[in-house]
Amino acid sequence: MKVALLLLLTFMTYPSSFDGLIEFESVFDTSNLSSKKQEIIISPEFSFNLKKVEFISSLRIRSDLKNSLGSSNLFEYQSDLSKSLIKTNSTQIAIRELYVDEQWGPWMIRLGKQQIVWGQADGLKVLDQINPQSFREFILDSFEDSRIGQWSIQLEKDLKHDKSLQLFSILDNTHNEIMDTNSEYAFSSKYITSKFKSQPVLLNVQRGSGLLKNSSFGVRLSEFKNGWDLTYNYLYFKHHSPVLYSDLTKGVRLVFPEYERSHLLGASASNSFGYFTLRFELAYLSDQYNLAKDINFLRGIINSSEVNYVLGIDWTKLSNTFISFQVFQSYVLNDAQSMIRDELDTKLSFLVKKDFLNETLSFELFYLYSVNDGDGLFRPRASYEFNTDQKIILSLDIFHGDVEGLFGQFSSKDRISLSYEWGF
């Protein structure tokens, strides 16, 4: 952390470019208009060039004057390498990214704290399993804002015949930010938390020791063939949410959180056909850990292989209009009868966006729906750009469905938000 802070100060002292974003957001409960969040976020970015080397850094300074979202101390999710410079329940100052780009022969090398992104799905993730995510506000933040960068080494090289190769190793065992049980967006769905007859004792999370032992490795081959953008992906990683094993010892329920490993084999494809764009992502997980129906069976957790995919269709024929539909499916390959989740889980998404006044006024509607549980998330949004640097946004987040579902667990958390963005 001291080295990272020294590098950051160097970047800030000798920047060749300096810009960023200031955001003000007020959030209110739709039922009684009580204030839920009064937040300011300052995101400065610095960069400078030194011959063939480019240095890039970004900070996030966040303060919630209302401080009603709660804390994330349930699991220590930040590694020693990535701890925030300052972190309280209401305020956080953190290094978002801090890396160096250099051309080394045919290879482009990126070294430092960075985000590595696979896939293009909206709302839910299929291939994008590389970096951890903050669930401070469930999935209401964009992937870009909620994704947590990690200290990594990434290499990319252009190959013959419209192909490219990406290799990376992540040397940072930072994981998902999961909120405490009394927080605004604490998980309570039956798919995430076991139901115990008595209050369990949560033991310290097992993170493992050793830099290499906790590292992840990935490779992606990309190519453009017959109009198709194709990728072939492999990732060896640790799941970013801990597996909650449990045992009953002398009448006391003990919970043992542990981060487990898995292999991911995946692929993606996209192509445009006139006004239509077809997108597809596929991911096979060798080890996925699901809650058992019987908490006393196999310590309450069943390990199974799993296949996930998303099929998306985008349509742009209407002027200044974008319409998208996605089908997400997850299929468990074995022992589904012993799990709480269904063997086949299906979710749908629908997005429509319309721009007016030379794309300064925008209306958007996004809907996520679980076919299995009948719950969902409805997100209408309107924005207006005063100029290239200033924007105002009004949005609604409406959950519905049974409280045991992934979305329905927050059915009492509907909210309306007003935000202002100023770029500099």
Altogether, the residues listed in the chain come to a count of: 424
The answer to whether residue 216 scores a pLDDT higher than 80 is yes
- What is the reported pLDDT for 8? 58
Per-residue pLDDT of 308-349, as tens digits, reads: 999 999 999 999 999 999 999 999 999 999 999 999 999 999
Question: Which has the closest alpha carbon to 60: 77, 38, 85, 80?
Answer: 85
Confidence band, pLDDT 50/70/90 cuts, at residue 178? very high
Q: What is the arithmetic mean of pLDDT over 395-419? A: 97
Per-residue pLDDT of 4-52, as tens digits, reads: 555 556 555 555 788 999 999 999 999 999 999 999 999 999 998 887 8
| Residue 201: CATH number of its domain | 2.40.160.10
The answer to whether residue 140 scores a pLDDT higher than 90 is yes
228-238 vs 261-273, strand pairing mode: antiparallel
- What is the reported pLDDT for 203? 84
Task: Write 188-192 long-range contacts (CB < 8 A, 24+).
Answer: 188/403, 188/409, 189/404, 189/405, 189/406, 189/408, 189/409, 190/291, 190/340, 190/404, 191/290, 191/291, 191/340, 191/341, 191/405, 191/406, 192/291, 192/406
Owning domain of residue 248: 2-423
150-159 vs 35-50, strand pairing mode: unpaired
Question: Which has the closest alpha carbon to 333: 243, 274, 265, 242?
Answer: 265
Count of domains observed in the chain = 1
As a whole number, the mean pLDDT across the chain is 93
- What is the reported pLDDT for 208? 65
Please count the CA atoms within 13 angstroms of the CA of 354 that sit on its side-chain side. Answer: 5
pTM of the model: 0.93
Percent of the chain with pLDDT over 90: 80
